[in-house]
Chain A
Amino acid sequence: MAVLICPECGAENTPGDEYCWSCRRALTDVEPVNDAVQDEPLGGHLDELLNSEEDLPGLLHALRQDGNIDGEQGDAEDVQSGEFHDSLGQASSGQSGREEEIPEWLRRIRQRAKQEKDSIGEVTQKISAAQESLADEKRSSQHESYADWIERLHQDFSQEQVAKDSAEGAPTGKAGQLPQTEDPEWLAKILKVHGKSVEKQDLDSLSTERLGGNSLLQWLVDLESGKEKLEPLSEEEPPAAKQSGDAVGEGDQNERTVDGDTTQEIRIKKGTSVKPVLSISRKEQLEADLISATIVDETAPRAMRKFEKPGSPWVIRAAVTVILITALSLSLFSGASTSNLSGSLKPQHRALITWLEQLPAESRLLLVVDYHAGFEAEMALIAQPVLSKAVQASSEFVILSSTESGVLLVDRLLQDIDGFETLVVSNAGYFPASNFAAFGLGAGIDPSWRFVHAPDAVNGLPQGDFEGILVLSDSYDGAKTWIEQLYAQFSEVTINLITTAQAGPLLLPYYESHQLGGLVSGLSEARQMTAYLNVENSTSHLWEAYRTGVLMMIIVIVLGLFFMSDHEGQETDRSKGEKA
C-alpha cells in the first residue's frame, strides 16, 4: 500500500492528502512510497539468515559482498553493536547496491537526522529508540539461536561424517569432533567463497593472519579445529556491552564510540542505576539565596557600638537622692492617717472578717506557710490583724510549711501576737514539694517517714479535722497549688488566703469562684483590715511611707519617660546620621 511520508515529521499519510495530519505540512511535493518496503522489520534479515541454514556459505558470501562483515576489520563486538545492526538492516533489506532506489526525501531525512538529532520529531525519535531497543533484544536472541544453529550444524555434520566413515570402513574420531585430516565440506565452501583454498590443508594450519584476524570465518575455523569451544550464552553481558550499558545508564541518550565511529543511540536499560539529578526550582533557589545571605549577614564582623551613658552632673543625682530620703523619712514620722476606711472594705475582706467572727471557740486551725524570708515584713503586717482575731477564737494551730524557713518565720510571726502563749501549736514541719503535701493532706494520708531522733521538721502530715485553713503565701503558683488541692478534697472546710501584693490580683478569681472563703493581699488592704478590726500595730505608719514611696516612683517614671525619650531621640538621630 502506498503512503505519503511527511518529510517534516515522518508521519504516514494516505495518498491524496494535501497536508500532513500531524504537523500540517503541505504534501504536494511528496511522492508516495510503498508501505511494505517501509514496514519491513529490521530484524527480518536475521530471520532470513536463520531460514537459510542450508545455504550459510551463500549467505556469508552475500554479507561479504556487501562489505558489511569485513573479514579484516570485523570482530565479534560488531555483532552486538548498533553498527552491525545497521549493516544487517542494510544488507537484508537490499539497500546495498540499491542506494539509488532510496527516495531523495528519505535520504535527506536520514542525512539530516544524522547531523541534527533534533531534526526529526520527538515521536519519531522515541519510535526509533524503541525500534532499536527491540532490535537489540531480538538480535541477542537471534545470536543465541545462531549459536545453537551452529552447534546443531556441527553435530549433524559429525553424525553424517561418522556414518560416512563407518560405511567406508575408515577410522572414526571421537564423536563430536571433526576428523583432523579432512576439511569439512561446508567450511571448504565458505573458504572458497572467501577466496582461500583449503584443499589438502589441515585446519590447524589456518593461521589467524591468513584468515583475517578475529573474523566470523576465523571463529568458525577455530570452532572446527577445536581451538574455540562453543560456550552457552550467559546472562551476563560482555564487558564491552556492559561498559556501554553503564554509560547508557547515565542518561537515556548518549554517544558511544565503536571502532572510531560515533554512534548515537537511545536505549532504555533495565536494572541500571540512574544517578539522581538535583533539580531546583526558582523559588527554592531564591529561598536558598535568602538563607545564605542571612547567614552571611549574621556572621559578618561589625564594629561594636559603645553605649554612651548619658552623663548627668553629680549635683543633680545627689539632690534627687536627698529629696527621696527626706520625703520617705518625713512620711514615716508624720503619723498615721486617721481617716475612716471602713467604707472601702472589699467583699473578700468582709468575707474574711465574717469568717473570723463566726469562728467557734476552741477551734483547730491549719496554718499553711508558703512565703519566703524576703516577704517576712510585709506578711507580718498583712497577717497580724487576721491572726490576732484567729488566736482569740482558737485553741490549736497546726503549722505546715512548704518553704525551707517557713517554720522559723511563722514562729517569729506568732510571737508578736497577743495570746499566742495560750495557744497549742503543732508543727507538722517542712515539705519540700507543696503539691505533694497538699494532695497528701487532702487525701488524709499518714506518711510513714517518722524516725526516732528526727527533728520536728519531719513530723508528717497533720491528721484530723480543722475548722478552717489559713494559707500564707507570697506567690501565685504556691497559693494556687494549695487552693486547688485542698478545695478538691476539703471543700467543706473554709480556705482563706493571706498573700502579698504581687500575688493578690491573680488569686482574686479564686475568691469569686467561691474556692476561697476570704482574701487579703498587700499593705493597702491590710491597712483597711487593721482599721476595721481595730488592731494596734505599725501598719498605719508604714502605709504612709509606702504611699510616699509609690508616689515618688511614679514621679521618677514620668520624668524618666521624657528624659529617656530625649536621649532616644538623640540616639535615633545619630544612628540615622551614621547610616546616611
Chain B
Amino acid sequence: MKKNLSVAMAVIIGVIVLAGYFFRDQLGPVLTLIIDWGILLVSVLGLLGIGYLIKSHITKLIKKEKGAFNSVVVLLAFISVLVAGLILSTENDIFQKLILTVQIPVEASLLGVLAVTLMITSLRLLRTRGWTLMSVGFLVSAVISMLVDVAFFQTEPGSPADEILKFWSNLPLIGARGILLGMALGGLLVGLRVLLTIDRPYGED
C-alpha cells in the first residue's frame, strides 16, 4: 500500500510538472503548491544533514576516536557561527565579512590543491597504464589545450597555422557535444522510466 502510494504520487506529480510546461496558466496554482513542498522538503533535508554531521562529530568526540581534535574544531566553529548569526543576524556586515573571510580562502586553497592533485594524477596515469596510445594521447591533449588556452601560439589570421589552431580549439567542442547528446538522451530515458514506474528511485523495492 505504501509502495503503491509513493508510486502514484511520483507519477502524478511528474505528469503535472511535465504538463506545466504546456499549460502554465491552468496548472499554475498546483505547480506553486508542488514547488512550495519541494523547497520545504529540501530545506528540511538540509537541516537533517546538519544534524547528522553534528551527531557524528559528537559521537567521535565521546568515543575518543582518531581525529577527535578535528571534531572539536568543527563543533566549535559551528557553534560560534550559529551563535553569531543568531545574535548579529545574517544582514550584519561583520557577520558577512566573517563568513567570507574564512570561506573564500579555505575553498580557494582546496581548489589549488585539487589542481596540483589532478596534475600528479595525470602523471601517474603512465605508471598505471604504461605508455599506451590512450595515456600518451590524453597527456599530449592536455598539454596542447593548455598551450592554446594561454595563447602561447600566435598566428596570422587566415594562415594554415591559424586553421590548425582553430581545429585544436574546436576539438574539445566536438567531445562536449557528444557528451551533451548522450546526457540528454540518458536524461530523457530516465525521466520516462520514472514516469512509467519502470525505475523507482523514490521508494524501497
Contact = CB atoms under 8 A, between A and B. Distances in A.
A511 B174 CA distance: 14
Given A509-B180, A554-B146, A554-B147, A373 B119 contact: no
A568 interface: yes
B185 interface: no
Interface string A356-392: 0000000000000000111111000000000000000
A197 to B, nearest CB: 88
A524 B150 contact: yes
Interface stretch (A59-67, A147-155, A249-257, A449-457): A449-457
Interface string B3-39: 0000000000000010011001000100110011011
Contacts of A431: 39
A432 B110 contact: no
A565 B139 CA distance: 13
Given A373-B100, A374-B108, A436 B42 contact: yes
Contacts of A448: 32, 36
A409 B101 CA distance: 11
A433 B35 CA distance: 10
Given A443-B31, A522-B149, A408 B126 contact: no
Interface string B104-146: 1011101100000001101110110011000000010011001
A551 interface: yes
Contacts of A343: 157
A376 B28 contact: no
Interface string A540-580: 00000011001101101110110011011000000000000
A436 B39 contact: yes
A264 interface: no
B114 to A, nearest CB: 9
Interface residues of A, number: 54
Nearest to A344: B151
A550 B150 contact: yes
B13 to A, nearest CB: 12
A443 B20 contact: yes
B40 interface: yes
Range of interface residues on B (Cβ < 8 Å): 35 or more
Contact of A376 (B40, B42, B104): B104
A204 interface: no
Contact of A557 (B89, B122, B149, B157): B122
A113 to B, nearest CB: 62
Pick the most buried of B17, B20, B42, B150: most chain A CB atoms within 10 A of its CB.
Answer: B150
Contacts of B31: 439-440, 443, 445
A411 B91 CA distance: 12
Contacts of B147: 554
B205 to A, nearest CB: 25
B159 interface: no
Contacts of A508: 173, 176
A580 to B, nearest CB: 20
B186 interface: no
B36 A376 contact: no
B59 interface: no
A444 B110 CA distance: 38
Nearest to A565: B126
Contacts of A546: 150
Contacts of A417: none
A28 interface: no
Nearest to B31: A443
Contacts of A561: 123, 126, 139
A560 B125 CA distance: 11
B172 interface: yes
Given A375-B111, A449-B39, A505-B173, A412 B100 contact: yes
B197 interface: no
Interface in B161-187: 172-173, 176-177, 179-180
A17 interface: no
B104 A374 contact: yes
Nearest to B152: A551
A321 interface: no
B177 A509 contact: yes
A444 B35 contact: no
Interface in B90-108: 90-91, 96, 99-100, 103-104, 106-108
Interface in A527-550: 546-547, 550
A499 to B, nearest CB: 13
Contacts of A456: 90-91
A447 interface: yes
A506 interface: yes
Nearest to B123: A560
A447 B107 contact: no
Contact of B36 (A447, A551, A558, A567): A447
B191 interface: no
A568 B104 contact: no
A440 B35 contact: yes
Contacts of A47: none
A447 B36 CA distance: 6
Contacts of B203: none
A454 to B, nearest CB: 11
A166 interface: no
B127 to A, nearest CB: 5
B42 A550 contact: no
A558 B31 CA distance: 55
Given A444-B28, A447-B35, A455-B91, A377 B108 contact: yes
A432 B143 CA distance: 38
A444 B106 CA distance: 37
Given A546-B150, A567-B127, 10 more contacts: A374-B110, A377-B108, A405-B99, A405-B103, A445-B31, A445-B35, A448-B36, A564-B124, A565-B131, A568-B127
10 contacts: A405-B99, A408-B99, A432-B42, A432-B43, A436-B38, A445-B31, A447-B35, A449-B36, A455-B90, A557-B139
Interface of B: 17, 20-21, 24, 28, 31-32, 35-36, 38-40, 42-43, 46, 89-91, 96, 99-100, 103-104, 106-108, 110-111, 119-120, 122-124, 126-127, 130-131, 139, 142-143, 146-147, 149-152, 157, 172-173, 176-177, 179-180
Which 8 residue pairs are nearest across A and B when measured between Cβ atoms?
A374-B107, A373-B103, A440-B35, A560-B123, A547-B150, A432-B42, A505-B172, A373-B104
